[in-house]
Each structure stands twice: as C-alpha cells, then as structure tokens.
Structure 1
Amino acid sequence: MLGVPGMLEAAREVHGFLMAHGRSEDGGWVVKMGEAGGCVDPERDLYDQAFVILALAWWARASGETAPITEARRTLAEIDELFARPDGRGYLSRLPDQGEALQNPHMHLLEALLALHAVDPEGPASARITRLRALFDEVLLDAETGTLGERFDMNWAPRPDDAIEPGHHYEWFWLLHMAERAGFGTAEPAATHLWDFAERHGVLPGSALIHDGLDRSGARLSAAHRSWPQTERLKALAVRAEISGRPETEAISAALEALWRHYIAPATPGGWVDHIGADLQPKVEYVPASTLYHLFLAYAELRRCATALGLTAHEEGLPA
C-alpha cells in the first residue's frame, strides 16, 4: 500500500500459505507452521489469533477482497468461544491455559480489532474494542504510578515479579490515540502518563536507546536493549508530532540514528540485530521475523505523520 513493487503479490502468497496450513482442527490458528507446510505446534495463543486478524484486515484493505473479512469475523468468534474468561474480563492468553493473565496479547488484539473495524465498521469488532479499552483503564494501567503491568494472576492482580517494559508504554501511547481517532475512548491523560514514565526512566542517558525492563519505581532491571522498543518510541514520537503540529525532528532523528547504528548497520544486509547488551554489542545471533513488523510499522507511521504535517521525508529524518 506504500507502492513498493512486488509486495502485494508477496502478501498474496503469505495469505495463501496461512490459509492452507495455519488453521487448527479445534478452531483458531496454531502457534507454529512448518516452512514447507503442516503444523509444528498445535497449541493456540491469543497473541497469534490477534495477528491473524490484523493480517486479514490489512489484506482485505490492500486486495479489496471480502473473504478476509469473513475469515476475520470467524476468528473473532472463535476467540470469544475458546479464549473468553468466565468473568468476562479479557481473555485467556494461551490454550491450554497457563494460569496467568498477560497484557501483551490484549494490546495486540485491540490493535487488530481497530484494523478490522476500519474495513468492517458494521461488524463485530466495535463491542470488543470497547471492552478492551475498559480493561486497560480498569486493570492494565496503574494510575498511581503511571505504569503498565505485563503479567498478572488470574484475578488481574499484578505479579510481584512483574517487570515494566517501556517499549509497551510507547506502543500503548500510539494505540490509545489510534483508538480515540476511531471513536473509542479518550487517550489522555493515560497516554501522557505512560509517555512520561517511559521518557523519565526508560531511556538510556546520553542516547536514544530504550531499556528492556524497569520496576514500578523506575529502577532499571535490565541494562540490555531489544530492537522493537526503539521502533515503538518512533511511532509515539510521530503521533506526538502529528497531535501538536510541531515536528519532533531532533528526537526522531536521534532515535532513527540509534536504530540504524546499533540494530541495522551491524547486521547482515537485509537483516537486523534483535538485542544488544549493556556494552551495546549484539547479545544474540538469530533474527526474529517478528521484528520486521515493528520496523515496517514505525517507518510507515513516520511517513504518514510527515505527510500529515506537510513535511518531506528528508525533513522528518526519513530516507526518501
């Protein structure tokens, strides 16, 4: 949809593979497929169901086909049937149940449902979006500390060993504003609480690198830095610029430079570094495919917001 040659056909192939091999015989979508097809891990995860809906919604938008919307509706009905908690407060995170409630899959389900609502405004996404927004206000956000929990017990009480992830603060900042634009809730003041905590405690002094984990007081629990939080801060910066009408050129440029220097430039061409340590050297050798989602969406959001502000790509610090 950004006009990159060959991407629509590539997406068509991926969609076809998913439809051929991803479904579980028991409903929903499996955790892992084999490279040549077939099921590798038959368990089902809410996180994966959310991303299937996100993919189907965007494929419907890009292709103009209606079948993906039908499949997304079916998947949402299966989530309600298979993952819904008896108390109605969110969903189980995995089948079989792991005995804990997780923030992250609910966040991505909200993102997916907003995408589905955009292409199917009269469909079933709206009521679920409203419930997920309420879940954020009621249990995910700790209003006293301005922090977002990650792991909870089955009563939605925060686990004592929980770690706060600044990257998810930035991601929710962006998501709350996307929900508000779609007519679901008000982003503020919660979004700014998340932003302020992450900016105050989550950024390595003298750099634009984001820490992996903090406690609720802001004390650092990890001196390492995953790649994806860097992209989520870029998305948040882009939306802040769009809302205020003032380009965040200096901050965006610094964040892009850090992303390039530490995660893109040192990697094999076409790849990326996923994780660096306190010494700013790579900690792992594998390249998670999931990082591409974060990289692409950050780039797309920066370009979208630059356009909204009437800027050229160069003025926003982006490659043309």
Structure 2
Amino acid sequence: MNPSAASSIPLANALREHFTRVVLPLWRGPGFNPELNLPYEAMNAANAQPLPVERYRAMACARQLFVFSQTGDEAHARVLFDSLMHTFRDTRNDGWFYSVDAAGAPLDTTKDLYTHAFVVFACAVYGGRFGNRNALDIVHGTSALIQSRFAADDDLFNAALGADFSAVTATPIQNPLMHLTEAWLAAREATRDNAFDAALSRLANAIARNFVHTPTGCIAELPIGADDNRLEPGHQFEWFWLVRQGGALFDSSGLAEALDRAFRFAQQHGVDAVTGGVCASLDENGATKDATQRIWAQTEYLRALASHDDAATLARLPDQIALFEQRFLRPQGWFECKTPSGEVARGEMPSTTPYHLLTAFDALPR
C-alpha cells in the first residue's frame, strides 16, 4: 500500500467512527419523523432538534435510503423505501413528486431530474444490497421514464418538467446529469443489465460535447457558451471520481483526460492552501466567484484525492483528512458551510449531507 494511503487509515477510521457513533443516530432518532416515516429536512446544529417543517423532499428521503442501505440497516432502509413509494410516487402522472408538505400531501409536483436520478440511485443500492426486487423494478421503470420523458437534444436530459411532463420548465444543466451518471453506475452494478452501459456511454459523450470547458477540462455548471457560467471545484472532484468508476465505459468521451486537467485546475484555484477549504465556485479563469466552503465540496475533494494514482497528489490525503475533521466536524455533528475565515455560514444540519459524508468516507483507505 502507498505510504500516504497507509498513514491515512487511522485518520479515516476516526471519520467513520464519528459517522457511526454520531451521525447515524441523529437520523434514526431526532431527525426522523415516526408519524410520517420521513427524515426531517434539517436539524438545528446547536441542539440536534428538527427545524420547523415546511416540506419533505423525495430526494432527501432517497439519500437517507442510500445511507441506511449502504450501512447495512435493513430495517430502517425498508421503512424509508416504503415511504418513498407511498409518499412521493405520482400514481396519476407517473414519476415522482419533488416534495410534500408538512402533512405529507403533494406540495411541489414538478418532475425534477435530480430527484428522479436519486430515486434510481437509492433504489439500486437498496435493491442490490438486500435483494429487493421491487426496488430494482423501480430502477428500471424510473430509468425508462427518464429516457422517454426527460429527453432533450443531443442525448441530454431536461432538468425539470411540469407535473404531467408536457412542459419543459428547465433545460439541461450539469448537476442532475452528474447524478444521473452516478445513478446509472449504481444501477449497472445492482442489475448487471448492459443497457446501462450504453446509456452511460451516450450520456458521457453528451456531457463532453456540451459542458467541458476546453481550456481547463472542467465540466461547467451550464452548457458552454451560457451567460454567467461557473466552474465548481467540488463538482470537478466528484466527476473525477465518477469517471474513474466508469472506466472503459467513458473512454470514447475523453472525459478522463479532461478531468485530470480539471482536478489540477480545481486544486490550484479552488482549494485554500492553508486551511484546505474548497470554495463553492470559480469563473472560467480561476478567479473566485463564491468563496463559501460547503461541506459536500470538502468531502468530494477527499474522495478524489483518495482515488488519485499520482503519488504526490495522494500524499496530500492525510493532511487533508485532518484539516477536514478539524474544520467541519463537531462532537454533535458537523458544520454545513463556513466562510474562508472559518465562521459558520449555515447553522443547520440538512438530512441530505450524510450521503456526502458516507460516500467520501467509504472511499478512504482501510
């Protein structure tokens, strides 16, 4: 084992221990509403109590389904899967509601690609882990719906549609397409269906044609040429990891080479050399657009570092784990967002963040 990876093991184990001892119990206990069988959207970081309820999102339920499936808690995962099916499924128009209100009634009935991608992702992990055929049927059915109803020009997919799929309300953007890639990678692993290979290859090529910023290799948030575009370092690190998981599936797209350059660009311009903090976004020249340090971007940097095959890059991993723990974890949970100077910029703990923590911690050396 690489010496840097070996020296990272005790540091990584400490992160995983905190997750098991602190984070998971938060969302089995005070972060879970037993009347609706849904995770609250967020908890107050000061007292670990749920914030007043305005909505529950399908995506948040799906992310928690992933977390408890991946950590082997079949009983709680089954409750979350049942809630996803019974609370968020649109039996009239097909697909999934974006959100329900505090009483569990449909609130935002938008058909949102990001949401549908997370339904596929979570059901693939849950179905694959516990052999649940109903979940794997959802993987196939929702993937087919995405391909037929969300389809846009040039093998892309629209970001949002109206409740009955008849009107496009948001055209293709990067983030849902990245999570669709993540979802189909999980679906491929869970189902062994080679139809996902072809779908992933087409999507990767479409991303390369429409979103890769040629000078830097970065995958932009909006299609290249759009006004006020931005490059998010966290997403470069996330794509770097995903493309490595896809391997030969993505060879024809050129994404692997682009993201090697994107990793270097994001590391150079988007990571604070002293604190290790990853900023939210850059412009196309590498100047900071949004200096906020969101915890999810820090976790993606950890995951990308851990998967890098360059020894000098991997050598940064132990220090980066230590900086992350010091800056973003706390005895009762985590800090969601900080300013570059270390002040807390967002005081709550969202139910969606354990997904980011777990995916990063799973990728660290053992």
Which TM-score bucket, shorter chain as reference?
0.7 to 0.9
The equivalent residue for 1:68 is 135
Q: Is the 8 A contact 2:161 2:169 kept in 1?
A: yes
The change in CA–CA distance for 1:5 and 1:52 in structure 2 (over 3 A counts) is closer
Residues 1:98 and 2:172 are matched in the alignment: no
User: 1:239-287 CA deviation, whole Å, 9 max, x = no partner?
Assistant: 11xx45x59665222222222222212xx71x32211113211112222
Shift of 1:76: 1.0
Task: Give the alignment partner of residue 38 of structure 1, picking from 105, 112, 116.
Answer: 105
Query: Counterparts of 1:44-193 in structure 2 under 5 Å?
Result: 44-85=111-152, 87-96=153-162, 97-122=168-193, 124-152=195-223, 157-180=224-247, 183-185=249-251, 188-193=256-261
Flag the 1:103–1:121 CA change in 2: closer, same or farther, 3 A.
Answer: same
Pick aligned residue for 1:279 from 341, 347, 356: 341
Separation in structure 1 between the aligned mates of residue 69 and residue 234 of structure 2, nearest angstrom: 29
Distance 1:3 1:108, change over 3 A: closer
CA 1:34–1:191: 2 relative to 1, 3 Å: same
Partner of residue 301, structure 1: 363
Task: Name the structure 1 match of 2:317.
Answer: 252
Query: Which whole-Å CA distance do the structure 2 matches of 1:179 and 1:56 have between them?
Result: 19
> For residue 309 of structure 1, what is the aligned residue in structure 2?
none
Q: How far, CA to CA, are the matches of 1:209 and 1:28 in structure 2?
A: 38
Which structure has the highest helix share of the two?
Answer: 2
Question: Could you give the per-residue CA deviations for residues 191-227 of structure 1, whole angstroms, max 9, x where no partner exists?
Answer: 2111111111111122211011110110111222111
Distance 1:5-1:125 versus aligned 2 partners, 3 A rule? closer
Question: What SS does the corresponding residue of 1:14 show, helix, strand or coil?
Answer: helix
Q: Which structure shows the bigger proportion of residues in strand conformation?
A: 2
Q: Assess if the C-alpha contact under 8 Å between 2:240 and 2:256 holds in 1.
A: no
Higher relative contact order (CA 8 A, sep 6+): 2
Instruction: Give the letter for the 1:163 counterpart.
Output: R
Distance in 2 (CA, whole Å) between partners of 1:276 and 1:176 is 29
2:137 maps to amino acid: T
Q: Secondary structure, in 3 states, of the residue corresponding to 1:221?
A: strand
Contact map agreement 1:171 1:236 (CA 8 A) in 2: yes
Measured on the aligned residues, the alpha-carbon RMSD in Å equals 2.4
> Which residue type is aligned with residue 261 of structure 2?
H
Unaligned runs of 5+ in 1: 307-312, 314-320
Question: Residue in 2 aligned with 1:310?
Answer: none
Using the size of structure 1 for normalisation, the TM-score is: 0.84
How many angstroms does 1:288 deviate by? Answer: 1.8
CA 1:4–1:179: 2 relative to 1, 3 Å: closer
| TM-score between both structures, scaled by the size of structure 2 | 0.74
Q: Which runs of 4+ in 1 moved over 6 A?
A: 1-6
1:15 maps to which residue? 81
Identity of aligned residues (%): 28
2: CA distance, partners of 1:37 / 1:253? 44
- SS of alignment partner, residue 227 of structure 2: coil
Count of residue pairs the alignment pairs up:
292
> 2 CA distance for matches of 1:285 and 1:199?
27
Cα 1:118–1:33 shift into 2, 3 Å: same
Give the direction of change, closer, same or farther, for the CA distance of 1:187–1:160 in structure 2 (3 Å limit): closer
Secondary structure at the aligned position of 2:107 is classed as strand
Measured after TM superposition, the shift of residue 36 of structure 1 is 5.4
